[in-house]
Amino acid sequence: MASTIDDNLDSLASDQSEVGQGGSVQWRRMLLPLASLKLTVTLFLLSIFIVLAGTFAQVHDDIWYVINEYFRVDMGSLFTSTFPFVNLGSLFVRIDYSLFFPEAFFPPQPVFPDHLRWMAPVWPDGTPEFLVGKGFWFPKGWTIGVVMAMNLVAAHTLRFKVQARGTRLIAGSGVLVVGSLFTYLVILSGSSPEGLQSKPLISYESLRLLMLTTLFGCCGVTVYGAIVSGGDFAKRWLNVIATVLLVLTAGFIGMWESSDAASMRILYQLVKATLASCFLLAGCIMVFKKRAGVVLLHAGIGLMMFYDVLVGTQHIESQMSIVEGDTVNFSRDIRDVELAIIDGSSPEEDQMTVVSSSLLRPETTITDERLPFDVEVLQFYRNSDVRGLRSFGPNEEIPENPATAGIGKNVVVTPVDNVKGTDTGGRVDVPSAYIRLRTKGEDGEDLGVYMVSSIFDLSPEPFGETQSVSVDGKTYEIALRFVRYYNDFSIKLTDVQKNDYKGTSQVKDYSSYITVTDPSRDLEFDHRIWMNNPMRFAGKTFYQSNYAMMEGGREMTTLQVVDNAGWMTPYVSCMIVWVGMMYHFSLTLLRYLDRRSRTTVVSSGASRGYGAQLTPKQNKISWAMTGVICLSILSSMLMLGRAPRESADVMHVESFSELPIWYKGRPMPIDSFARNMLLRLSDYETYRDEDGEKHSATKWLLQVMSNEVAARDLRVFKIENKDVIEALGLPEREKFTYSFNELLKSPKVDGIKEMGILTILRELEGLTEIDPQQPREFEVAVSDTPQNERTRFERKIIELSRKVDEYVLLEFTTGGGRIIDLMRDKELGDATQSQLIELGFKLREFDRLHSQAFNKSPIPLMVPTHFNAKDRPEQEAFQTEWESLTAAKIFDRIYDELVEMDSSEYTKPPAVKLFVSMVQAYEDEDVDAFNDQLKDYQVFLSDYARQESDPTFLQKTEFEAVYNRFDAFYQSANLYLFAGILAALGWLFLPGFFQRAAFWTLVTVFLIHTAALIGRICISGRPPVTNLYSSAIFIGWAVVLGSLILESISKLGAGNIVAAICGFLSLRIADGLANDGDTFVVLEAVLDTQFWLATHVVCITLGYATTYLAGFLGALYVFTGLFSKRLDKNVSKEFARMTYGVLCFATFFSFVGTVLGGLWADDSWGRFWGWDPKENGALIIVLWNALVLHARWGGMVKDRGLAMLTVLGNVVVSWSWFGVNELSVGLHSYGFTEGRLAWLILFCLSQVFIAMIACTPLNLWRSNPKEVSTT
């Protein structure tokens, strides 16, 4: 590809020289600086910086403040009536240095893992003193965007000349005109004249079949290309890869049912946009020839930039809250408030006068003839906390209350910090004010001081939305409320539904069933709005946003309302850029392959094949060794997946581990639940008994289920911090593992506030005389210390308290409810009750404690009581279909009591009888009974599994249990390391021998990696990436795939090295992320969409992977030049070609993935680009990759410079992948854990160090300085 780059540079240079000739083109010469690629690169750098600054700003400021201050320009204040008629200050923002020292990164007491504690002394604990209060002015986002647009126009004016002449030019111009008109019609097609979103021209089923036909037709073309490519290895494999991708895409579309209207609706919009883009591409090809792709993608970017300006100046966002059964005709803008004075004296309509929030400044008086009285603003709070006076405790200080009239006499307002960033809890600022009202005139009568707050606009009960004021015998209503936008139509909420995942309070879906009435259009229709499925009507889009249960049991829905005319624009611009990039990069790739096929590659390290570097005998030995290694790996993996043989004289614990349960909203085998629980407690998936023998997690769980008292002696709590061990009075131990009983019996836990649950248990068990309900002094009270000021010891105390809480909840839900028995014994003393009454009480108490003491935390639902169940007694009526083991044990005893009372009309559910008997047999160590009950339960499940909502759940859980046995990702990580050793040996000597073994070993491990990835997809029923853990798995997979493709073409050995390193590192990262718990977590309601997960998430993750691949190739380039003599001119060029090609793919995937994310956001809450930190991180990747490419095209960097910049790209990706999560703000703020930040910093510093050593003088490199590019 280097030759292609050189061609581009030569053409650009010739264009510039041509421009400089002749006086008639002086105006073009004046445009040269503006069209410079150096200016383009500078603008990319400025863009990256302002996006980064806007991301950090969200730590302290509201998202809308950040958008307006850092990115948008206020058009109202831009122009002035005096010279120079432009307010230049509105084009810039002042950025304080303290912005780049957020507390999340630079806390007062930084905490690092033990092995990284050396970083603590050098790490700042906040903004350095000499930078406090200092800052600088910087251009806003729109300012940079305008200059970038000018740069783009100037570049096209000078360089991208029309290359067609005559008839071709006329025809091409005509096609462009038709294409532009068609594009405009596609944008307009979003809404029909009736106001509703237009219906598709063809049915969704026809669309699906048409796409499948087109894709398979393309497959035929690529298969034919592979056949006729002859001996051209690269082109043949390119066609094969294209065929595979097309088949996968066809399979992806084929899996979608046309009845899935949500996905097909988006697909239909993208197809329309793609057709418009293809029209435009055809015209560009006719007019601009080989530069058609660049012209088209730049046009798409320009359209996208224009749409962002349109959104900033024209679009309005608001919210519509409707209580079930009510009708509403207005929406609220929760970003701004107004003081409303309402005159309701007219029987026909209310007269309303509103005062803008911009006038509500403290110590100002508002006088206007339209107001019935003067308003003096005493205090105004942007965000506040409103509390009733009666809510203050005897020891709490009541704030000063200036109110003398109205609601303010019963409530008081205190200022609080503004909501930060894109708040993850959905909170909004609640403005409030104290105002004094006076009658008009200089000596106006004081009507009193009123407290007004927007909280009553959101929650009118119990005080109501407004307050009454009487003036001259006339009554007015006043209210501080969010700005309202009234509509010509009304919406009635007929029903709202909230669906949770089974056994949790986590929302799976919200749905609003509404009736829209529009007299102006003579329309009335019913509609359903649910997550990711908005209603577009009358130039507005309505999105399902929230749900709430009101007092009295009434339900309320919240709809996000966006005035977004031209909402199809980002869909069109995305596909325009996609088509332009595909065409341009495809031409570049084909030219590279064509040149490669016509050029004999001669270099010190490159060859047409590994065998060419070996003698025939060595070649045979090499193949034999490679075959042995690959077959050994495959056979070893198959052995790992085999279930151990369980003889008749031992308990079949392995079979028991495959039984299904429900936990955190999904079915899973007991094995997965046990592994995850034990991993969270001890960092291991196994435990050791007193004799040091290792046992499975399922055995540990069976101990807890059958004999919770004995299970407390098992050492499953890992406590590594010596200060915590000392504070608990525990002995130091080599493995740092302790039992629950050791914690419970330690008197020192009573002095630790966070161990309160242990004190409660100690009091119930008679181990302490302290009454946990009475106030007392604590030696350690971590919760009294602000989170950002906690020491390492205090954070570890919190971590341990969470583990203890999880263990106690596990005991409570699986062990039989011993806690309830102890509490009841304490309450009753020697008194006795009927056994049936006691069991009924225990069942109700179990539910109460789960709701109150454990905050309805998810619990494992193990017993399907609804399978083949007959009539149920009253005590069971309020329970769910699947029950916890504790509840099942109580049911079991209730039914036994009913039998003794001759209540023969009740039959014990079979699942209860079988499961409880099985656990009892394990406790009794009755092998035969356990195995028999297990076999009967398995048969029972297979017979009645069809009664479950997902009849295939049994097969899924059995498959997951087998999947767990393979532990394929952990094994693959070790095998990647082994392959890396082979590749390193091949780098040193006998490259043909060891590199071949390394390559095919990597192929074998990659197949295992792929199979494991497919297994995850089958288990979750989701696309491959749904959380941080799965992203690490997928990134590693994609990097290995790309590396193997490069290695198959270049035979340099570089692909092997990168594949092994990245495969190992990514899977080790995933292994660390697995400690967070279940890696198959169910999704939040807004993320529960297969289409966007399969497109945006996969695409953006591929962007991460390819950027990393380019970065690691760059790092390998630097190390090869510094420490070996292999980097001659040919190898350097080969590295540059590979890096450049990968970077093109990285730009493509990261850009398309980022824009698809914007489309998802537009489809979910009506904001194509919300400047959320995660979105900003993805944008920075796009900008950085574009910067590197333009620097290369402009000749600013050559081979070494390209390598250095791509290494820095690793920092950029890592920031987007993990860094923004550490800020703990934004809609995507997930994945923060202690210690992760330290590793992130360490990795980024290592990449900066590599980039720095890449700049060392070439005479310090071992490779021949005369044969390596100088920049």
Q: Residue 1208 — very low, low, confident or very high, per pLDDT cuts 50/70/90?
A: very high
Per-residue pLDDT band for 833 (boundaries 50, 70, 90) equals: low
Q: Looking at the structure, do residues 527 and 467 belong to the same domain, yes or no?
A: yes
Q: What is the mean pLDDT of residues 128-154?
A: 91
Q: Which residue has the tokens 């730049």?
A: 298
pLDDT of residue 604: 41
Sign of CA dihedral 1146, 1148, 1149, 1153: positive
* The pLDDT of residue 4 is above 70: no
Q: Which two tokens stand for residue 252?
A: 């992806």
How far is residue 932's CA from residue 570's CA, in Å, rounded to a whole number?
A: 62
Q: Are 913 and 940 in contact (CB under 8 A)?
A: no
Give the span between the Cα atoms of 803 and 858, in whole angstroms. Answer: 15
- In tens, the pLDDT along 681-730 reads 998 999 998 888 999 999 999 999 999 889 999 999 999 889 999 999 99
Burial class of residue 1178, CB neighbours in 10 A (0-12, 13-18, 19+): buried
Distance in angstroms (rounded) separating the CA atoms of residues 198 and 1220: 39
Residue 106 maps to a domain: yes
pLDDT at 239 exceeding the cut of 90? no
Tell me the longest C-alpha to C-alpha distance in the chain: 112
Return the minimum-mean-pLDDT range out of 134-148, 282-296, 895-909, 1243-1257.
895-909
Q: What are the beta bridge partners of residue 525?
A: 516
3-state secondary structure of 497: strand
Query: Contact at 8 Å (CB) between 1193 and 9?
Result: yes
The predicted structure's pLDDT at residue 3: 38
Q: Which residue has the higher pLDDT, 907 or 520?
A: 520
Q: Give the helix/strand (H/E) hosting 836.
A: helix 835-852
Q: Do residue 355 and residue 477 come from a single domain?
A: yes
Q: Is 234 among the domain residues?
A: no
Distances (CA, A) of 628 to 623, 631, 633, 1001: 9, 5, 9, 10
Q: Contact, 658 vs 670, CB < 8 A? A: yes
Judgement on whether residues 1146 and 1121 belong to the same structural domain of the protein: yes
Mean pLDDT of 1224-1250: 73
In a domain, 911, yes or no: no
Average confidence (pLDDT) over 159-175: 87
Is 739 a residue whose pLDDT tops 60?
yes
For 846, the enclosing helix (H) or strand (E) is helix 835-852
The span from the CA of 320 to the CA of 496, in Å, is: 14
The stretch 119-137 carries a mean pLDDT of 82
Q: How far apart are CA 859 and CA 876, in angstroms?
A: 18
Looking at 597-732, which runs of residues are DSSP E strands? 660-663, 666-669, 686-688, 694-696, 715-718
Distances (CA, A) of 202 to 189, 250, 463, 575: 14, 19, 54, 20
What number is the average pLDDT over the span 1167-1194? 90
**Predicted local confidence at residue 197, as pLDDT:** 59
Between CA 1100 and CA 1040 the distance in angstroms is 17
pLDDT for 5: 39
User: Residue 20: pLDDT above 60?
Assistant: no
In the prediction, which pLDDT does 1265 show?
52
- The tens digit of pLDDT for each residue in 1098-1119 reads 999 999 999 999 999 999 999 9
Q: What is the mean pLDDT of the chain?
A: 85
What is the pLDDT, as a whole number, of residue 102? 86
- Residue 1249 has a pLDDT of 96
Q: Domain total for the chain?
A: 4
> What CA–CA distances, in Å, run from 1021 to 626, 1024, 1055, 1087, 1090?
36, 9, 32, 14, 9
Q: What is the pLDDT of residue 829?
A: 63
Task: Provide the token pair at 930.
Answer: 């356990």
pLDDT value, residue 1192: 94
The answer as to whether 959 is a domain residue is no
Q: Which has the higher per-residue pLDDT, 143 or 245?
A: 143
Kindly report whether the peptide bond that precedes residue 864 is cis, defined as omega within 30 degrees of 0. Answer: no
CA-closest candidate to residue 918, choices 670, 1243, 1087: 670
Task: Tell me the residue type at 890.
Answer: I
Same domain, 1160 and 1040: yes
680, with CB counted inside 10 A (0-12, 13-18, 19+), is middle
Calculate mean pLDDT across residues 1151-1157: 91
pLDDT exceeds 90 at position 339 = yes
Q: Is residue 989 part of a domain?
A: yes
- Say yes or no: 362 and 387 in one domain: yes
Q: Between residues 972 and 548, which one has the greater pLDDT? A: 972
Which tens digits make up the pLDDT trace of 447-486? 999 999 999 988 877 778 889 999 888 899 999 999 999 9
The residue from 143, 158, 173 where one domain ends is: 158
DSSP-assigned beta bridge partners for residue 1126: none
Q: Are residues 98 and 76 in the same domain?
A: yes
In this predicted structure, the answer to whether residue 113 has a pLDDT above a threshold of 70 is no
Strand partners for 513? 495, 528
Give the integer Cα–Cα distance in Å for 1033 and 1041: 12
Q: Is the per-residue pLDDT at 601 higher than 50?
A: no
73/2 same-domain check: no
| Phi-psi label, residue 1021: left if phi above 0, alpha if psi -120 to 50, beta otherwise | left
Report the distance separating Cα 181 and Cα 174, nearest Å.
11
Task: Average the pLDDT over each of 167-181, 382-396, 690-704 and give the range with the smallest value.
Answer: 382-396
Nearest-CA neighbor of 98 among 125, 65, 134? 134
State phi, psi for 853 to the nearest 5 degrees. -70, -35
Q: Which comes out higher in pLDDT, residue 224 or 136?
A: 136
Class of residue 394 by CB neighbours under 10 A (exposed 0-12, middle 13-18, buried 19+): exposed
- Residue 637 token pair: 């993996």
- In the prediction, which pLDDT does 332 show? 92
What is the predicted pLDDT for the residue at 223? 73
The pLDDT, as a whole number, for residue 346 is 82
Look at the alpha carbons of 482, 485, 490, 493 in this order and tell me if their dihedral is positive or negative.
Answer: negative
Last residue of a domain, one of 110, 139, 158: 158
Statement: residue 629 has pLDDT above 50: yes
Does residue 1230 surpass a pLDDT of 60? no
Q: Does 116 lie in the same domain as 16? A: no
Range of the domain at 541: 316-563
* 247-261 average pLDDT score: 66
| Residue 600 confidence (pLDDT) | 47
pLDDT at 883 over 80: yes
Q: Which of 42-46, 67-71, 442-446 has the lowest mean pLDDT?
A: 442-446
Q: Which residue has the higher pLDDT, 824 or 412?
A: 412
Q: What is the pLDDT of residue 396?
A: 77
Last residue of a domain, one of 158, 174, 194: 158
Question: Would 111 be classed as within a structural domain?
Answer: yes
For residue 1147, tell me if it sits in a domain.
Answer: yes
Q: Scan for tokens 């836990």, then name that residue.
A: 749
Whether residue 198 has pLDDT greater than 70: no
Same domain, 470 and 416: yes
Give pTM, 2 decimals: 0.89
Q: In this model, does residue 618 exceed pLDDT 70?
A: yes
Return the closest-CA partner of residue 667 out of 1021, 931, 1032. Answer: 1021
Q: Work out the number of other CB atoms within 10 angstroms of the CB of residue 649.
A: 8
Answer whether residue 194 shows pLDDT above 60: no
pLDDT grade for 1061, boundaries at 50, 70 and 90: very high
821-842: average pLDDT: 72
Q: Same domain, yes or no, for 38 and 22? A: no
Asked if residue 1201 is part of any domain, the answer here is yes
Asked whether the beta carbons of 1079 and 1067 are under 8 A apart, the reply is no
User: Does residue 1157 share a domain with residue 1086?
Assistant: yes
pLDDT at 869: 60
Q: Do 127 and 4 belong to one domain?
A: no
Listed residue (1200, 1056, 1180, 1191) closest to 1107, CA to CA: 1180
Distances (CA, A) of 510 to 139, 498, 529, 564, 603: 42, 5, 8, 23, 62
pLDDT (mean) for 539-564 = 87
CA nearest to 822, candidates 849, 851, 795, 861: 849
